[in-house]
């Protein structure tokens, strides 16, 4: 894939994203004013994803979703709403979006490979959507099955953007991540402009901050390539990701796809708490509608998020009711969010979790502080005057400590101080929400099939990612307000601020080229599959050929362990295989007898010529793949009749069933 082709793909993708934003923005301007432009970035992409999903459900091409945006843009042009002044006022928002898009694009250009961790899964789902955008999408690792067993809307949105922009899945993967980063950053900056206008950049620091464990790893001399990874494996038996790591690590996983939605909802929450009284009916209903759009998408993008944000939305609604006597946010947002995505929910067929469990082995307090210590230290420092006025609150951690849950007690202290306030500011509300999440994680987890050692791994992993964003945004805004009163940012001219912003953006783009992170294989391309051509040229050519084949195809390839090079054909083509990544399928389907049967049948297809054709027919297999992995894993013995080589090159033969 030539550099020129990749540049055109980036431009095509950006033009599409910008068109969606520009089309929606004027319709929000009457309600949100200057904040319409930043909100339109994530909101327009969410709407495009939802409309394209409904289009596919109706049997229409996903590009049909462009029609309402074309109509919106045409209407805005007719009304003369794209004035020079309006476009100029939006430049700052475009600059923030593009700065973080470019920084993440730079990181993906340096480490582009889709080659380990959850990346095989992420691309497999993306490729499935893009190959055949049907509802629900086909499961690439379970022939005959669909992705209704998993929350797939994030992959769907990235996929339909790729289909519409004409970008292949291996590049769309590395453009989706920068888009998420840009959309999240621009709404984080909007939150800064809203809550701390004298230092609006404060919330953006969350995209650059590492946890205290990162500092520890640097101090003890951990190799650079392992520092980030080790900083997310701190509390025993859990994963402790944070925003910076999630983007640098580069999994296009649900918890990452949902980051932009979280920052959109955080802005809307802050806006509702700040501006509800002065807002007119149109603004209030716009905030309600956008909040419903964001909240309703969460179960479809990353279901863990809605478990945490639904109570937050209820709390916001109660605060608005108490302060302004208006129940619409409380009563309208949850049901409207459900209604917007109701067909998706009704189709969802996941095995789910087994219910809540009680944590009997809580976090080690020191490990807990290595994860949350930075924000806790800053927050407690900001709250010291209040703690001095209410010293009795220092006793709050005691009962937690006596019960053996000291980590929860540490977080309970600042929470108690915040709750003792007569009026809770938006940033205090965000901090309190984050603190409640980390405290609850010390007592409750959702049971799954991860085993005894990692019994609360998923709970801590998904919940801490959300808590980091809530607590981090609230703390950074509060610190920004305190800092703005000390450094007097108004002494810096607008031109100087723009220059500083440009320098910061340039530094963000350059840094990935200077830090030897070394995740994955291959570099200096946006093609996430380029590494296969270097390390497995035979597979690369065969996969490229299969990607050109049209129709309802099903293939069989070697099956072994998860997180390996096995299942590489289905992962990089999106063509469903009889079975791929067995442990993942077990987590989603909770049907080990069926999975084990498929694994045995795949082996029989390759090794028992008397059953090859009948088993291929059983699963609707059209293509049988024989490469180096298959030869090393099975004693290949295929029937002499009934199979025709359709492809034979580079040590790979692909047979089709007659």
The model carries a pTM of 0.96
User: 479 near 382, Cβ under 8 Å?
Assistant: yes
pLDDT of the residue at 288: 98
Q: Tokens standing for 394?
A: 């220092």
Task: Compute, in degrees rounded to 10, the torsion defined by CA atoms 24, 27, 29, 32.
Answer: -90
* pLDDT tens track for 398-450: 999 999 999 999 999 999 999 999 888 999 999 999 999 999 999 999 988 77
Looking at residue 51, what is its pLDDT? 98
Specify the pLDDT at position 432.
98
Q: Which of 191, 190, 187, 165 is nearest to 176 (CA)?
A: 165
Mean pLDDT of 309-329: 96
pLDDT at 510 exceeding the cut of 70? yes
Q: How confident is the model at residue 394 (pLDDT cuts 50, 70, 90)?
A: very high
CA atoms within 13 A of residue 547's CA, in its CB half-sphere: 20
* Cα angle 244, 187, 248; round to 5: 15
End-to-end CA distance of the chain: 34
For residue 355, what are the CA distances in angstroms to 49, 445, 557?
Answer: 31, 8, 35
User: Residue 223: its pLDDT value, please?
Assistant: 87
| Average pLDDT of the residues in 602-615 | 98
From 248, 254, 258, 253, select the one nearest 520 (Cα to Cα): 248
Strands (E), 327-465: 356-358, 444-446
Task: Kindly tell me if the per-residue pLDDT of 518 is higher than 60.
Answer: no
pLDDT mean over 10-28: 98
Q: Which of 113, 122, 98, 133 is nearest to 10 (CA)?
A: 98
Question: What pLDDT is stored for residue 353 in this prediction?
Answer: 67
Cβ atoms within 10 Å of 33's Cβ, excluding its own: 13
Three-state secondary structure of 458-478:
HHHHHHHHHHHHHHHHHHHHH
Helix 169-195 vs helix 3-32: crossing angle, to nearest 10: 30
User: Is residue 208's pLDDT more than 70?
Assistant: yes
Q: Which CATH architecture has domain 530-657?
A: 3-Layer(aba) Sandwich (3.40)
Average pLDDT value for residue range 222-251: 93
CA dist 238 and 174 (Å) reads: 27
The two three-digit tokens of residue 65, written as one number:
């979703």
Residue-wise pLDDT for 142-155, tens only, equals 999 999 999 999 99
Question: CA 4, 10, 12: angle at the middle one, nearest 5?
Answer: 100
Q: Mean pLDDT lowest for which of 284-298, 344-358, 377-391?
A: 344-358
- pLDDT tens digits for range 626-658: 999 999 999 999 999 999 999 999 999 999 998
Q: For residues 499-514, give the mean pLDDT.
A: 86
Answer yes or no: is pLDDT of 352 > 70. Answer: no
Inter-CA distances, 208 with 244, 504, 628, Å: 6, 12, 42
The pLDDT tens digits for 526-556 are 999 999 999 999 999 999 999 999 999 999 9
* Of 186, 187, 99, nearest in space to 501 by CA: 99
Q: Where in the chain is the domain with CATH 3.40.50?
A: 530-657
**163 φ, ψ to 5°?**
-60, -45
pLDDT digit string, tens, across residues 131-189? 999 999 999 999 999 999 999 999 999 999 999 999 999 999 999 999 999 999 999 99
Average pLDDT over residues 250-264: 97
Q: Which long-range contacts (CB under 8 A, 24 or more apart) does 224-230 make?
A: 224/515, 224/516, 224/517, 225/516, 225/517, 225/518, 225/519, 228/517
DSSP 513: H
Please write down the HEC assignment for all residues of 182-215: HHHHHHHHHHHHHHCCCCCCHHHHHHCCCCHHHH
The band of 96, judged by pLDDT with boundaries at 50, 70 and 90, is very high
């Amino acid at each position: 894939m030539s550099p020129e082709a990749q540049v055109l793909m980036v431009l095509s993708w950006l033009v599409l994203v910008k068109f969606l934003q520009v089309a929606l923005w004027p319709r929000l301007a009457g309600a949100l004013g200057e904040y319409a432009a930043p909100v339109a970035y994530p909101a327009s992409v969410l709407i495009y994803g939802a409309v394209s999903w409904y289009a596919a459900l109706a049997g229409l091409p996903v590009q049909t979703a462009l029609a309402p945006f074309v109509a919106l843009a045409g209407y805005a042009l007719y009304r003369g709403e794209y004035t020079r002044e309006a476009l100029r006022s939006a430049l700052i928002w475009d600059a923030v979006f593009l700065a973080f898009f470019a920084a993440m694009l730079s990181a993906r250009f340096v480490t582009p490979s889709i080659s380990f961790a959850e990346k095989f899964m992420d691309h497999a789902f993306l490729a499935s959507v893009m190959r055949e955008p049907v509802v629900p999408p086909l499961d690439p690792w379970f022939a005959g099955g669909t992705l209704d067993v998993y929350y797939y809307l994030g992959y769907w949105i990235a996929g339909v953007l790729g289909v519409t922009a004409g970008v292949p899945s291996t590049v769309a993967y590395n453009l989706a991540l920068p888009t998420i980063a840009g959309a999240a950053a621009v709404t984080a900056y909007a939150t800064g402009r809203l809550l701390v206008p004298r230092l609006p950049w404060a919330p953006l620091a969350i995209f650059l901050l590492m946890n205290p464990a990162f500092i520890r790893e640097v101090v003890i001399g951990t190799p650079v390539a392992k520092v980030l990874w080790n900083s997310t494996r701190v509390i025993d038996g859990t994963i402790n990701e944070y925003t910076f790591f999630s983007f640098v690590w580069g999994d296009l996983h649900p918890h990452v796809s949902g980051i932009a939605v979280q920052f959109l909802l955080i802005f809307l929450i802050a806006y509702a708490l700040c501006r509800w009284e002065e807002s007119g009916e149109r603004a209030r209903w716009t905030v309600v509608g956008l909040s419903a759009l964001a909240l309703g998408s969460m179960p479809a993008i990353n279901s863990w998020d809605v478990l945490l944000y639904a109570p937050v939305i209820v709390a916001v609604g109660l605060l608005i009711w108490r302060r302004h006597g208006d129940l619409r946010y409380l009563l309208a947002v949850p049901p409207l969010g459900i209604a917007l995505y109701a067909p998706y929910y009704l189709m969802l067929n996941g095995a789910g979790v087994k219910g809540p469990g009680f944590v009997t082995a809580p976090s080690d307090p020191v490990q807990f502080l290595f994860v949350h210590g930075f924000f806790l230290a800053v927050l407690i420092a900001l709250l010291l005057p209040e703690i001095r006025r209410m010293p009795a609150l220092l006793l709050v951690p005691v009962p937690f400590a006596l019960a053996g849950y000291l980590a929860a007690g540490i977080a309970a202290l600042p929470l108690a101080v915040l709750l003792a306030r007569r009026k809770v500011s938006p940033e205090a509300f965000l901090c309190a929400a984050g603190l409640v999440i980390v405290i609850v994680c010390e007592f409750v987890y959702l049971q799954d099939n991860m085993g005894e050692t990692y019994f609360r791994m998923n709970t801590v992993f998904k919940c801490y990612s959300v808590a980091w964003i809530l607590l981090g945004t609230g703390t950074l805004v509060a610190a920004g307000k305190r800092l703005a009163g000390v450094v007097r940012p108004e002494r810096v001219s607008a031109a100087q601020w723009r220059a500083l912003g440009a320098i910061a953006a340039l530094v963000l783009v350059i840094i990935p080229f200077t830090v030897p992170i070394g995740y994955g294989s291959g570099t200096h391309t946006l093609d996430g599959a380029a590494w296969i051509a270097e390390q497995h040229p035979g597979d690369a050519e065969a996969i490229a050929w299969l990607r050109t084949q049209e129709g309802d195809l099903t293939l069989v390839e070697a099956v072994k362990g998860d997180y390996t090079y096995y299942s590489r054909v289905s992962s990089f083509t999106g063509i469903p295989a009889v079975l791929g990544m067995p442990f993942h399928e077990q987590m989603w389907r909770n049907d080990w007898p069926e999975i084990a049967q498929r694994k045995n049948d795949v082996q029989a297809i390759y090794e028992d010529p008397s059953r090859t054709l009948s088993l291929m027919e059983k699963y609707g297999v059209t293509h049988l793949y024989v490469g180096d992995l298959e030869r090393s894993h099975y004693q290949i013995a295929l029937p002499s009749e009934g199979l025709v080589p359709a492809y034979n090159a580079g040590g790979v033969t692909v047979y089709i069933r007659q």
